[in-house]
Amino acid sequence: MKRILLVDDDTTLRVALTRYLEKRGYQVQDASSGVEGLAKFDQEAPDLIVSDIVMPEMDGFEFCRRLRAMRSGQLVPFIFLSSRSEVEDRVQGHLIGADDYLIKPFEPRELLAKIESQLERSRRIHSEIIRLIQTSTPPEPQALPAEKPLAKPLPLTPAEEKVFWEVIQGYTNKQIGDRLFVSPRTVQTHLSNILSKLQLENRSQLVRFAFERGYKPPISEE
């Protein structure tokens, strides 16, 4: 079940959208401001975010900006849902890092279509990354003719190494937590440590790092 974080200070709208999306098979978390949205994201990263712009404490623009500055928040699909309809607002939203922008009032079916489109796009990207990892042979470094060089041991703890293999196969923090029987927050802590030790910035760089250095996960038999 895909998880959506809905951030809007309009309680009535949040309740209505939560019911609408839950009836269509989504798990919804809600927040009333960017500050609360960041806290909810830190607890458990969602598969997609829908956010208003005009909110107390922290508006949607700042929320999106801070999210995109986080390693774990750079690739999460982000949709603005706002009554601010000026072209400048829409342009700013996209420049900050939003993937789509829907103007209030809106038709719930249109929001649902945008959500499904962004989730499908994210799925295709992850599938293609995994396909490249599993089917491509990285260039071999210089080595003795009689030996095929192996990828260097990872400078990670056993727990971090388990998370490493799961991440490069495209699993989300929630999926990894379910597979390794730990919380998504623990997964995120391990992932942050992995990125720091390998001097990388985000999941995409981690996947590329694994591909270029020959760290290929076993092909699933499921």
**List of domains in the chain:** 3-124 (3.40.50.2300), 150-212 (1.10.10.10)
Q: How much is the pLDDT for 80? A: 95
- Residue 141's pLDDT band, with cuts at 50, 70 and 90, is low
> Residue 78: which of 167, 171, 5 has the closest Cα?
5
Q: How much is the pLDDT for 178? A: 86
Q: How much is the pLDDT for 125? A: 77
Q: How much is the pLDDT for 133? A: 66
Q: What is the pLDDT of residues 76-103, one digit of tens each?
A: 999 999 888 888 888 998 888 899 999 9
Strand ordering across the sheet containing 78-82 = 27-31, 3-7, 48-51, 78-82, 100-103
133, amino acid identity: I
- For the entire predicted model, the pTM comes to 0.62
Q: What is the pLDDT of residues 49-64, one digit of tens each?
A: 999 999 988 999 999 9
